């Protein structure tokens, strides 16, 4: 963007500035620290100038929004055309309680739904399984059968609102329950819009809710790609997630690199199945964290779009531009919240959300102030949703596209993160690819290292966290926390027993047997899973069949 003569002149002037103006200031006032760094411990310079982005080529590196390489955004008008989807991740206790929460959130102006499932559901156990001891409804809503799914979406227009479901190992089963629920209401699957998280690779890397070994897990994921591309054209069959990688303690660069490496791995598997990349790539979506470092996060989102577009077009030869687009959901950083002085979390969440908006997110969840202590109360979640509405309507941030482009700092950091991501891609490749790198503990070790460094920076007060190591308050602050139905578990088990009692058990057994032979062979499992769900087989029964066929994965614990 700058000619050589201008840059040469600038270089000389900057040298002069350093020796005079800057030197004079530093002689009188030292800076607050010898080194400044991002939340991810990456160095931050005092000043950025055109010299830091001397090689930037506007058309090649930034371009126009809605055009390759999409650095500035996936749509030409971005949030001027349509605001991001305000999608609050929610779920607790029984389907009845969570259904009431969804209706409340929709009434308060949220524009998309997002289901949080409880631990037993995430691990494919029915609520009354002994392995589920104490976990019912604690981390999300329990869904053990189609009956629970029907209650969960009762009275909610699933043909109008899109639903995101955070489910991974049992993703195909829970998706089938959603499809069957809509079918019973006369809504064909072709009309359903939403997102299945379905990102198993990051489970091994960070979230740890894996069940089967990597290869059969990936086969199930590709089964959903294939089924979705044929039958649910509006559904995002995967949400390739950096969120959990970041929450587990990674840096921004690691989140970016590992997430995109996972994404590219899914593309390879889809192609290896014989699918046309242009058939499934447009339905791949992403999910990132927005952490504390305002600018670094914005740069991460911009770098992600540019890398993905390039890899999809250049490496995989995708021809449909929709397959080049990195569309993403963002959640503000849960791990940045403090149990101390919880009101401060409203402010943290606000700037994290603003970074997501300025970074061009398609959808956003804002955490509630009480989430370092419990699942959100109705009051806390309302404040979190209002935060998005304030950004949308009052901040002005949604009125122009990619307003930080051209900032020397932002462009230099975007380039730096992109370079960091490619450095990681090469390391992963040298280990034999994503799955061998998982099996060797590479990602787990990288993340544990970063998490420990971050904690040590806090403990040594190199990094200040208000309420944790500075500006402490002696008196504990009490805010009202969510209370769940104490009879919830009994009601859940009663419904589950009713399902088992009243269904045509012969039909359920036949469907489960058919699934078993599909799983043992190479046929797509999705239609068989759908038949099991329609026959009211429970989540635990269906996953039990798959556990039997595929086995269970154990990881080596890495500290």
Partner 1 sequence: MVAKPGLDGHDRGAKVIARALRDAGMEVVYTGIRQTPEMIAEAALQEDVDVVGMSILSGAHMALFPRVTELLRENDMEDVLVLAGGIIPDEDVPALHEMGIQGVFGPGTPTDEIIRFIRENAA
Residues in touch with partner 1 (CB under 8 A):
119-120, 122-123, 131-135, 138-139, 207-209, 247-249, 335, 338-340, 372-374, 448, 451-452, 455, 458-459, 465, 467-469, 476, 481, 555-559
CB of 519 to partner 1, least distance (A): 23
Nearest distance from C-beta of residue 417 to partner 1, angstroms: 22
User: What crossing angle do the helices spanning 252-272 and 442-459 adopt, rounded to 10°?
Assistant: 160
Run of H or E residues at 62: none
The burial class, CB within 10 Å (0-12 / 13-18 / 19+), for 336 is buried
Looking at the Cβ atoms of 207 and 290, the one nearer to partner 1 is 207
**Shortest distance, position 375 Cβ to partner 1, whole Å:** 8
- To partner 1, the closest distance from the beta carbon of 543 in angstroms equals 13
Q: Which is nearer to partner 1, 286 or 454 (CB)?
A: 454
Closer residue to partner 1, CB minimum distance, 423 or 459: 459
Sequence-separated (6 or more) residues with CB below 8 Å from residue 292: 39, 333, 336, 348, 351, 352
* Shortest CB 451 distance to partner 1, Å: 5
- What b/e readout covers 199-230, taking b as 16+ CB neighbours within 10 angstroms? bbbbbbbbbebbbbbbebbbbbbbbbbbbbbe
- Residue 122 or 146: the one with the smaller Cβ distance to partner 1 is 122
Cα 478 to Cα 482: distance, rounded to the nearest angstrom: 13
Query: How far apart, in Å, are the Cα atoms of 288 and each of 21, 30, 164, 510?
Result: 41, 37, 14, 41
* Cβ atoms < 10 Å from Cβ of 288: 27
Question: How does DSSP classify residue 87?
Answer: E
* CA–CA dist 116, 280 (Å, integer): 25
Q: Which is nearer to partner 1, 513 or 555 (CB)?
A: 555
How far apart are CB 371 and partner 1 at their closest, in Å? Answer: 9
- Measured from the CB of residue 478, what is the shortest distance to partner 1 in angstroms? 8
Q: Distance between CA 288 and CA 421 in Å, rounded?
A: 15
Give the pair of three-digit tokens for residue 512: 């489960």
Q: To the nearest whole angstrom, how small is the minimum distance from the Cβ of residue 402 to partner 1?
A: 33
DSSP 141: B
Q: How far apart are CA 461 and CA 472, in angstroms?
A: 13
Q: Which residues contact 24 (CB under 8 A, 6 or more apart)?
A: none
Of 207 and 366, which has the nearer Cβ to partner 1? 207
**Nearest distance in Å: CB 372, partner 1:** 5
Does residue 69 have a cis bond before it (omega within 30 degrees)?
yes
- Identity of the residue, 134 or 396, whose beta carbon is nearer to partner 1 in the bound complex: 134
Dmax over CA atoms of the chain, in Å, equals 87
Residue with Cβ nearer partner 1 (243 or 308): 243
Helix-strand-coil split of the chain, %, nearest 5: 55, 10, 40
Cβ distance to partner 1 smaller for residue 339 or 549: 339
Q: Which CB sits closer to partner 1, 268 or 547?
A: 547
Shortest gap between Cβ of 287 and partner 1 (angstroms)? 17
The residue (of 355 and 374) whose beta carbon lies closer to partner 1 is 374
Closer residue to partner 1 in complex, CB, 258/324: 258
Measured CA to CA, the distance from residue 551 to residue 557 in angstroms comes to 19
Closest separation in Å from C-beta 60 to partner 1: 39
- Count the alpha carbons within 13 Å of 188 in the hemisphere toward its beta carbon: 5
Q: Which is nearer to partner 1, 202 or 305 (CB)?
A: 202
Give me the least distance between CB of 247 and partner 1, in Å please.
7
DSSP 126: -
Q: Nearer to partner 1 by C-beta: 427 or 453?
A: 453
Contacts 24+ apart (CB under 8 A), 265-272: 265/201, 265/433, 265/434, 265/435, 266/201, 266/218, 266/221, 266/222, 266/225, 266/238, 266/240, 267/312, 267/316, 269/218, 269/221, 269/222, 270/222, 270/225, 271/316
Task: Report the nearest approach of partner 1 to the CB of residue 544 (Å).
Answer: 16
C-alpha dihedral over 87, 184, 173, 508, to 10 degrees? 160
CB of 93 to partner 1, least distance (A): 11
**DSSP symbols for 322-385:** GGT---EEEEE-GGG--SSSTTHHHHHHHHHHHHHHHTT-SEEE---TTTTTSSPPHHHHHHHH
């Amino acid at each position: 963007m700058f000619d050589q003569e201008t840059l040469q002149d600038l270089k000389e002037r900057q040298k002069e500035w350093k020796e005079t103006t800057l030197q004079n200031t530093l002689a009188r006032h030292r800076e607050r620290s010898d080194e400044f760094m991002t939340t991810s411990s990456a160095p931050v310079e005092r000043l950025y100038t055109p010299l830091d982005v001397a090689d930037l080529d506007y058309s090649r590196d930034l371009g126009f929004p809605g055009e390759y390489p999409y650095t500035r955004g996936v749509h030409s008008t971005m949030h001027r055309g349509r605001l991001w989807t305000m999608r609050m991740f929610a779920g607790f206790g029984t389907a009845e309680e969570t259904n009431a929460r969804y209706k409340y959130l929709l009434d308060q102006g949220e524009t998309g739904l997002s289901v949080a499932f409880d631990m037993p559901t995430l691990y494919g156990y029915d609520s009354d399984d002994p392995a589920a001891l104490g976990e019912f409804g604690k981390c999300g809503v329990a869904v053990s059968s189609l009956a629970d799914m029907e209650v969960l979406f009762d009275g909610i227009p699933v043909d109008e609102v899109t639903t995101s479901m955070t489910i991974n190992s049992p993703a195909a089963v829970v998706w089938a329950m959603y499809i069957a629920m809509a079918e019973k209401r006369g809504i064909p699957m072709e009309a359903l819009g939403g997102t299945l998280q379905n990102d198993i690779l990051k489970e091994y890397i960070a979230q740890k809710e894996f069940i089967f070994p990597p290869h059969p897990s990936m086969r199930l994921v590709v089964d959903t790609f294939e089924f979705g591309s044929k039958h649910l054209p509006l559904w995002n069959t995967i949400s390739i997630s950096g969120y959990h990688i970041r929450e587990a303690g990674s840096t921004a660069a690691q989140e970016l690199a590992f997430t995109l490496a996972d994404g590219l791995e899914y593309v390879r598997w889809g192609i290896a199945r014989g699918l046309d990349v242009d058939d499934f790539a447009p339905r791949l979506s992403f999910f990132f964290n927005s952490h504390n470092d305002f600018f670094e996060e914005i740069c991460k989102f911009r770098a992600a779009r540019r890398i993905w577009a390039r890899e999809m077009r250049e490496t995989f030869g995708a021809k449909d531009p929709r397959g080049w687009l990195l569309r993403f959901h963002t959640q503000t950083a849960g791990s940045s919240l403090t149990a101390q002085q919880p009101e401060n979390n409203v402010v943290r969440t606000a700037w994290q959300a603003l970074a997501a908006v300025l970074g061009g997110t398609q959808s956003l969840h804002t955490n509630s102030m009480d989430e370092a202590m419990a699942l959100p109360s109705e009051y806390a979640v309302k404040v979190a949703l209002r935060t998005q509405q304030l950004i949308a309507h009052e901040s002005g941030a949604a009125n122009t596209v990619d307003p930080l482009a051209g900032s020397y700092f932002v462009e230099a950091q975007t380039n730096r993160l992109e370079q960091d991501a490619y450095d990681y891609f090469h390391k992963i490749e040298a280990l034999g690819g994503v799955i061998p790198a998982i099996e060797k503990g590479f990602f787990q070790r990288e993340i544990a290292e970063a998490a420990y460094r971050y904690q040590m920076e806090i403990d040594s007060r190199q990094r200040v966290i208000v309420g944790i190591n500075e500006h402490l308050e002696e008196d504990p602050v009490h805010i009202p926390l969510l209370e769940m139905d104490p009879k919830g578990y009994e009601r859940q088990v009663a419904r589950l027993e009713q399902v088992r009692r009243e269904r045509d058990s012969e039909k359920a057994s036949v469907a489960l047997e058919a699934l078993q032979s599909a799983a043992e062979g190479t046929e797509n499992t999705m239609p068989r899973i759908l038949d099991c769900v329609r026959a009211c087989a429970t989540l635990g029964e269906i996953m039990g069949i798959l556990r039997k066929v595929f086995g269970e994965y154990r990881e080596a614990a890495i500290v």
